[in-house]
Structure 1
């Protein structure tokens, strides 16, 4: 299964050989400066948002690859029954969220603490993930009147 590492100034998600084949990429990397918030989600399905776009999805068994939503793309590597470390990223990053399953809640909390320490621009104002932005009603009304 995918693993998350800090390598120098980057956060890297390394994939197993079969995961690389499924998502057609060797690894996913973002600068630590792009890390916005780090949380650990006890329920794997709560880390999923948007619709499956690329990779491998077996309902109730595995979700691996990219998911698209109104705010951009997420990269996920999750399995049922495992906690998930969720790394929200600033808009300048290629993804909005990295979600990777970990072996235990303690392992996830240890990684989250480490990321909060080494990432320079981490927002610690709330321990919860932020919801996806909802388009304002005024934008919807303006689009509907045209």
Structure 2
């Protein structure tokens, strides 16, 4: 899971060692706060991927990590399975047009971006806690319990 650090001037996507390897990236992704044009929450990040991973890792339906190149511009993705995600549209970023991240802190990120940031970088969840806003994630879909058919007796011949 990526860590999101936000201060008054920038958002930093801190990647773990495994994420760096799978994304073929040496450092973290840094985004100037002024370059963020729109932030959207989504339940299915896979629909937002465009182009092909180059360089990156893609296992359909499991993970998508790295840079995705397309005619519309380059995107950076860290997507795991079908989990809640955030899509950050950028304007004027030198490297990417869009950032797609699987994170359970998407709502906290949206709320923290609305608040004036501090001078020191802080975790997005901590900022939401300080402002008194409690991030609420949508409830997980309710799944019906699996029922099995009762075995039937074989006809006697």
Gaps of 5+ in 1: 120-146
1:55 equivalent to 2:56? Answer: yes
SS at match of 2:66: strand
**Count of residue pairs brought into register by the alignment:** 116
Instruction: Give the 4+ runs in structure 1 shifted more than 2 A.
Output: 116-119
Cα RMSD (Å) of the superposition? Answer: 1.7
- For 1:32, the equivalent position in structure 2 comes to 33
TM-score scaled by length of structure 1: 0.72
User: Structure 2: which 5+ residue stretches go unaligned?
Assistant: 118-157
Distance 2:57 2:99 in 1: 16
Q: Separation in 1 of the partners of 2:35 and 2:83? A: 25
Deviations 1:16-55 (A, max 9, x none): 1111123222200011010000111111212211211112
Matches of 2:62 and 2:13 in 1, distance apart? 20
Considering fraction of residues, name the structure with more helix. Answer: 1
Matches within 5 A, 1:1-146: 1-22=1-22, 23-103=24-104, 107-118=105-116
Alignment check: 8 A CA contact 2:8 2:116 kept: no
